[in-house]
Structure 1
């Protein structure tokens, strides 16, 4: 990210948080130059970008001022604290139909589940892969069977240590992406017919895994601002034979919500009282916009009940399909299931990522990715405010790359999805995030791609389609 973009993102955070009130005059060019040690050109370009995002306005011969509405967050409605009956899941056909439509050539990928490939250091990663592959001993085909490449597990263990939650290398199992880790965890603690607590709205792949394993789901409401409803979870634990929970505690997909440290601790304590394991999906934790990684629920676990799953697919190497689980008391069971299903994750890919983590500057790369995503969020936020009807509300996450939109209740997200696809725009409609096909007036948008005119135009088109659908129902 360029210097002026970093400066603009920093100032945008202050404006959006309300620390700089609407109507306030921004500091002079000289003040900004002195405070940040940048050139006049850098400040000008940062101010132009803030103006483009709709956060500030220029007044002739007077300077720049915070624009009306810039610091007013767009609220989302709270979720009702109620729990539905557990039910069999039938979601895959709907998910597949939505994902298939999004594969059309030239589509604007607002419905994508992945960030842009250009955010990743693929050439440098390829060097690590080539170097590590040359050094692979044929014996590694046996040695690197589950739990996986020792050097990679050691590097992952060091990252846990840096977070202040040391995890023994013996408890880390390498998998073919986080999704396999999550599925193996689910298989390790359930049998067909068991009840699993999932988020609502929640990750559709969790629902598909429950469907495939012939399990039943009980949906726990998620508030886009505060995250999982612990009161509703407690009710579910008392009224249903819940055998496991599958939750995202950081930058939840699709809402972007993150549980506070206090709620994470309360979650772990509540599950401990009922001896219910937690499958923690933490694939977006490294994509935080605040200075520090938000600690996962694993940090509060003292009983080995939390299986912490993550991967490098969202942060470094999407095509390498390398993930892991720090599995606690379930390590042996998961390791055996890995051997019984897919045997091993790619041995060259494991070695290549281990080499990159040791020599490639992973943390420097992550800082660049976070900065880029934060700037893209600002651009998305400004475009939504500029082009969508005033009765649309959306989340503003502090990490990840998803925004959750609530449309007027009369608008059907599936209708919007079909109209958008016809105009070359993908989005993720709310019903794919619920076992009950709920959230028919919600959609998820991806801001993980560099901002460009096609994305801006796509947001404007969505605004036009929403107006068209509202007019039909008037």
Structure 2
């Protein structure tokens, strides 16, 4: 029997029913946090979590110093179920992620956190120490899977989550992206259909495009990720060969799939014999508490290929990632060997040496605090300066905000106008095989919050308000 939903979910679900039934209508003010706390006998944190969930679903909006109100009815932005389609996003990605020669002073469109958040001085020391400890014989003996000491350290991190992953199951790769691409290549042939979220990380779409695969877009909820009901229907229709998902702090939504839903995801795919490629590079960037369990924690047949990376948590630029590939590990090891032989041995040795010490947990705690504070600041600024009716996700981790502008706004046109003023953003169509989410954009909250960045967000709000719709 599944566990009872947490109290904030029960409160949120009750309010959802009242809104859908018309008992609460657009413009109605919800009871204050204090009133709800008193009437329900619960904590203020429970009420805030419930209201934030409703906000992430687009059902309520917060008004500064006024409380929460039922949002106006708006057309949903989620993609309708549609046929598998060839993917052609690479040219758009190359065009929109370039700066066109413009100097960017507010990198809100970047996919990376600020380098000031990472311990590069200590990594340089670890690189030196790790290189001194290298046994030349290891350079050839351990090539297929990667540095044995680092694979052991990664296995220990899984153990901290209560997961039993052996070092032999782990294949080190040149960043998580190589591992994800190799996994997809291993599981599919040109023309196959692959399940992806809508919206989803544009690099997943680029991988499908390169391999000649067709995307089956699964609508995703901004709070809890992929819609499993829609996924089941799409599996029945299109017989996909693989599924590529981010289950924790998804890029671009920031969604976090609850544990019971991750279990259901694994069971749904496993029943149909569909392997899951789980892109989990943001998992350790939770803002509070412990890192969420990945979907792989609920796998019993080795059908989940779980990809991670140190690029977002410790060492951007070192290009060290991995895949815990389950029963596919031997084949993935051979694919890695035939494609690029091995990753950077000194970089792998440096990270292994760093992880053997005590600094990593201390660094992660500081990084999480910084990212949480920066995200709160950016979200508050967006709500203050963007037009009424704007919806902004409240993620529990990572460093992205997904912003849905009122219908009629065009994020592609906004990106061009903003870039002229040195402000970058990531328009919604980057994250869709079908070119959807035109009125949406992703903003990066991984940069330290400064007066200059606050001014850039305010200016972005002015540009949005000036759009003719």
Structure-2-length-normalised TM-score: 0.85
Alpha-carbon distance, 1:226 to partner: 2.3
Q: Which residue of 2 aligns with 1:189?
A: 187
**1:68 matches 2:46:** no
Which position in structure 2 is the counterpart of 1:30?
none
Query: Residue 436 of structure 2 corresponds to which residue in structure 1?
Result: 438
**Residue 438 of structure 2 is aligned to residue 449 of structure 1:** no
* Residue 252 of structure 1, CA deviation: 0.5
Match of 1:352 in 2: 350
Equivalence for 1:416: 414
Question: How big is the shift at 1:104?
Answer: 4.0
Tell me if structure 1 keeps the 8 A contact 2:106–2:456: yes
Moved more, 105-114 or 150-159: 105-114
Structure 1 residue 116, shift from structure 2 partner: 0.5
CA contact (8 A) 1:144 1:347 kept: no
Tell me the equivalent position of 2:98. Answer: 100
Q: Find the partner of 1:285 among 283, 286, 291.
A: 283
Question: Following TM superposition, by how much is the alpha carbon of 1:381 offset from its aligned partner in structure 2, in angstroms?
Answer: 1.7
* Map of 1:219 onto structure 2: 217
Distance 1:452 1:71, change over 3 A: farther
User: Cα 1:193–1:353, aligned 2, differ >3 Å: closer, same or farther?
Assistant: same
Q: Does 1:337 align with 2:341?
A: no
Residues 342-398 of structure 1 show CA distances to partners (whole Å, capped at 9, x for unaligned) of 110100000000000001511110000000011111111221122111121110100
CA distance in 1, matches of 2:189, 2:324: 21
* 1:460 to 1:70, Cα distance in 2 relative to 1, 3 A: farther
Higher mean C-alpha deviation, range 137-146 or range 232-241: 137-146
Is the Cα contact below 8 Å between 2:195 and 2:218 reproduced in 1? yes
Q: Structure 1 residue 239: deviation in Å? A: 0.5
* Inter-CA distance 139–103: structure 2 relative to 1 (3 Å threshold): farther
Instruction: Tell me the CA shift for residue 213 of structure 1.
Output: 0.6
The CA deviation at 1:400 is 0.2
Q: Is contact 1:222–1:228 with CA below 8 Å preserved after alignment? A: yes
Q: Does the residue aligned with 1:205 lie in a helix, a strand or coil?
A: helix
Q: Which residue is 2:320 aligned to?
A: 322
Unaligned runs of 5+ in 1: 1-17, 25-65
CA–CA separation in structure 2 for the residues paired with 1:184 and 1:267: 22
Does the 8 Å contact 2:79/2:436 carry over to 1? no
Decide whether the 8 Å contact of 2:174 with 2:320 is kept in 1: yes
**Which residue of 2 is the match for residue 276 of structure 1?**
274
> Which of 375, 378, 386 pairs up with 1:377?
375
Classify 1:345/1:301 alpha carbon distance in 2 versus 1 (closer, same or farther; 3 Å).
same
Aligned to 1:117, which of 115, 118, 122? 115
Aligned counterpart, 2:134: 136
For residue 145 of structure 1, the aligned residue among 119, 143, 146 is 143
Q: In the alignment, which residue of structure 2 is the partner of 1:39?
A: none
Deviations 1:238-295 (A, max 9, x none): 0002000000000000000011111100000000110100000000000001211111
Q: Is contact 1:173–1:335 with CA below 8 Å preserved after alignment? A: yes
User: CA separation in 1, counterparts of 2:32 and 2:370?
Assistant: 22
- In structure 2, the CA distance between the partners of 1:177 and 1:454, relative to structure 1 (3 Å rule), is same
1:364 to 356, 362, 365: 362
Residues 21 and 71 of structure 1 are in contact (CA less than 8 Å); yes or no, is this contact kept in structure 2?
no
| Conserved 8 A contact 2:374-2:449 | yes
Partners of 2:194 and 2:242 within 8 A in 1:
yes
Aligned residues: 413
Runs of 4+, deviation exceeding 6 Å? 70-77
Q: CA deviation at 1:101?
A: 2.1
How far residue 140 of structure 1 moved from its aligned partner, in angstroms, is 2.4
Secondary structure in 1 matching 2:317: helix
Mapped partners of 1:103, 1:284: distance in 2 = 30
CA distance in 2, matches of 1:283, 1:350: 17
DSSP 3-state at the match of 1:319: coil
Distance apart, 1:166 and its partner CA: 1.3
Over 3 Å counting, the alpha-carbon distance change for 1:205 and 1:69 in structure 2 is farther
> In the alignment, what sits opposite 1:60?
none
Do the aligned residues in 2 keep the contact of 1:102 with 1:109 (CA within 8 Å)?
no
TM-score, normalised relative to structure 1: 0.84
Q: What is the match of residue 234 of structure 1?
A: 232
1:66-85: per-residue Cα shift (whole Å, max 9, x none)? Answer: 96146779899866584210
Q: Residue 86 of structure 1 contacts residue 218 of structure 1 at CA under 8 Å; is this kept in 2?
A: yes
Structure 1 residues 363 and 166, CA, compared in 2 at 3 Å: closer, same or farther? same
> Gaps (5+ residues) in structure 2?
1-30, 38-62
Partners of 1:156 and 1:120 in 2: how far apart? 19
Q: In 1, distance between residues paired with 2:264 and 2:326?
A: 19
Taking the aligned partners of 1:152 and 1:193, their CA distance within structure 2 comes to: 36
Q: Is the 8 A contact 1:204 1:433 kept in 2?
A: yes
Structure 2 distance, partners of 1:353, 1:404, is 32
2:293 to 292, 295, 301: 295
Instruction: Provide the C-alpha distance between the structure 2 equivalents of 1:435 and 1:391, rounded to a whole number of angstroms.
Output: 26
